[in-house]
Amino acid sequence: MTAPKAAAASTSAAGAPAAGKALSVTGLTVRYGGVTALNQVSVTVEPGELVGLIGPNGAGKTTFIDAVCGFTRSTGQIRLGGRTLAGLSAGARARAGLGRSWQAADLYDDLTVRENLTVGAYTPDWRRTLKEVVWGRARHDTGVAEQLGITHLLDRPCDGLAAGQRKLVDVARALAGRPDILLLDEPAAGLNTDESRQLAARLRGVVDAGTGVLLVDHDMGLVLAVCDRIVVLDFGRVLAEGTPQQIQRDQAVIAAYLGSSTPPDSARPDSDNARPGERPQSGSSEDDS
């Protein structure tokens, strides 16, 4: 397992000093009625570390992000730095330092890219509101756009963007809020090979500046090339964890991706189309990747 990169004296993509908060998730469990979507999942993301979260369709990866960010009820411990996030709303968790992107890249299409980034940067509380009244609203869009390579798109309306461009804007919008930990849900979806390679370089820049990143993606070339450490989920449980090299050699991981693993009795894929104990077909399209 690789050692986390030092975050001392680092700066975020928006130019502010990195807070150096680690995300620690312990025993995270999500149940929908009698279905256990996540079962005692534990994951850590250190400042300046890029952790991949992979697994077959229906393994629970998006459910994990939803639970950590407060969009899905869960049990277990979620801590950011020294603060527990359990019981907080999604908005409160965002203000505490969590940022995320979405599979669908659901942008405000009637706004420009710059305006979308401004929305992403706005996490209101009374302190920030007071500062904006006195000094005006800070602008972070230029630095974030440079970080993601989308400066040329800033003044374009989002409804005219290509699919790959929308994904980059979605990542930039999440980063505009200057999170301590950024959770990315399939940011490479819709990107071609060259765009995916460029995204890898940009994500490394974000991480090297001190932000911790959890990356969920099916582009294994991207995941293996850019991640410091990888956690593998299968049927809602952690199957393996290690460096990209260790994960590539892990026989349990190979078996899971070939579809030959047997699900635990208490877990099954969190897919409405899957029956208990049945893995979705590789070609199925699910909200939870």
Average pLDDT for 63-67:
97
Residue 163, pLDDT > 60, answer yes
Confidence of residue 122 (pLDDT cuts 50, 70, 90): low
**Token pair for residue 228?**
């410091």
The residue ranking higher by pLDDT, 287 or 89, is: 89
Token representation of residue 57: 């369709």
Provide the pLDDT for residue 134: 60
pLDDT (tens digit per residue) in 70-83: 999 999 999 999 89
pLDDT at 37: 97
The amino acid sitting at 180 is: D
* More confident position, 8 or 184: 184
Q: Within 10 Å of residue 41's Cβ, how many Cβ atoms?
A: 25
Q: What is the pTM of this model?
A: 0.78
| Nearest in space to 176 (alpha carbons), one of 1, 12, 8, 36 | 12
The per-residue pLDDT for range 234-243, each reduced to its tens digit, is 999 999 999 9
Q: What is the CATH number of domain 23-257?
A: 3.40.50.300
Q: How confident is the model at residue 193 (pLDDT cuts 50, 70, 90)?
A: confident
Average pLDDT of the segment spanning 265-284: 38
Report the pLDDT value the prediction gives residue 32, as an integer from 0 to 100.
93
pLDDT at 26 over 90: yes
High-pLDDT (> 70) share of the chain, %: 75
Evaluate if residue 2 carries a pLDDT over 80.
no
Residue 246 CA to residue 287 CA, distance in Å, equals: 29
The arithmetic mean of pLDDT across residues 19-43, rounded, is 93
Q: Is 43 helix (H, G, I), strand (E, B) or coil?
A: strand
As a 3-state breakdown, the chain gives helix, strand, coil percent values, each rounded to 5, of 35, 20, 45
pLDDT at 20 over 90: no
Residue 148 CA to residue 247 CA, distance in Å, equals 28
Q: How far is CA 168 from CA 4, 34, 37, 161, 185, in A?
A: 26, 37, 29, 10, 12
Residue type, 285: S
Q: How far is 52 from 206, CA to CA, in rounded Å?
A: 15
> Which has more confidence, 126 or 248?
248
- Where is pLDDT greater, at 53 or 166? 53
